[in-house]
């Protein structure tokens, strides 16, 4: 998993509440177990018409936001089913941070496991960040995980809270597998001891 330390990038505004995981990645794209290749179908039903053509006024189809790395969204982001394909699609598109007033719990935790930083901030702060994002590609936002701050293109800074363990994992690029591998020497030592003490097992 890629480390997340400090990110300065374009923020795309998505002022919608209750964006569920089926909106993020519709069910017909859940056949794969690969984490790559889903970015093209992120927000598929909002990005494309019935003929597969881009809908020009959808934010991620606009030239200013095609390379967005931050998403500023409405309340209760990631609600609905628990599909991990949702953060996979977000990450594969290139978005590393999602900011919203609140998140669905399972989606929130899945983000950390996939190298995405979800930041929950009060509505009034999200409103400020949304307006900043609406300025387009020339307005770049900065996310500093170590300092736990979000800074607008105008230099206005806001602090955010994050669980210390989840922060450690993101800063060091540790997913569940990497965390297990950190214990490999202890696991090997235990297995060796058990083999000597109980060779019949």
Q: Where are the domains of the chain?
A: 6-174
- The angle that helices 105-113 and 85-93 make with each other, rounded to 10 degrees, is 50
DSSP conformation letters of 143-161: EETTTTEEE-TTS-EEE--
Per the CB < 8 A criterion, the answer to whether 103 and 87 are in contact is no
Say what the pLDDT of residue 197 is: 83
The number of CA neighbours under 13 Å toward the Cβ of 163 is 9
Say what the pLDDT of residue 184 is: 64
In a structure prediction context, what are the per-residue pLDDT tens digits for the chain, which is 201 residues long? 889 999 999 999 999 999 999 999 999 999 888 888 999 999 999 999 999 999 999 999 999 999 999 999 999 999 999 899 999 999 999 999 999 999 999 999 999 999 999 999 999 999 999 999 999 998 899 999 999 999 999 999 999 999 999 999 999 998 766 666 566 677 767 777 778 888 876
Whole-prediction pTM value? 0.89
Protein fold of 6-174:
Aconitase; domain 4 (3.20.19)
């Amino acid at each position: 998993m890629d480390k997340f330390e400090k990110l300065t990038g374009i923020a795309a505004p998505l002022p919608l509440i209750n964006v569920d995981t089926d909106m993020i990645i519709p069910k017909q794209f859940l056949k794969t177990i690969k984490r790559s290749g889903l970015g093209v179908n992120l927000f598929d039903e909002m990005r494309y018409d019935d003929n597969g053509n881009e809908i020009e006024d959808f934010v991620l189809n606009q030239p200013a936001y095609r390379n967005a790395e931050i998403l500023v969204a409405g309340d209760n982001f990631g609600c609905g089913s628990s599909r991990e394909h949702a953060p996979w699609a977000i990450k594969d598109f290139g978005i590393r941070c999602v900011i919203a007033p609140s998140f669905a719990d399972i989606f929130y935790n899945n983000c950390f496991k996939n190298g995405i930083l979800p930041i929950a901030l009060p509505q009034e702060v999200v409103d400020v960040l949304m307006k900043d994002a609406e300025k387009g590609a020339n307005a770049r936002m900065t996310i500093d995980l170590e300092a736990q701050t979000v800074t607008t293109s105008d230099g206005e800074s806001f602090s955010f809270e994050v669980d210390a363990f989840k922060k450690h994992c993101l800063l060091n690029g540790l997913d569940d597998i990497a965390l297990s591998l950190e214990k490999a020497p202890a696991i090997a030592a235990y297995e060796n001891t058990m083999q000597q003490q109980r060779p019949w097992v």
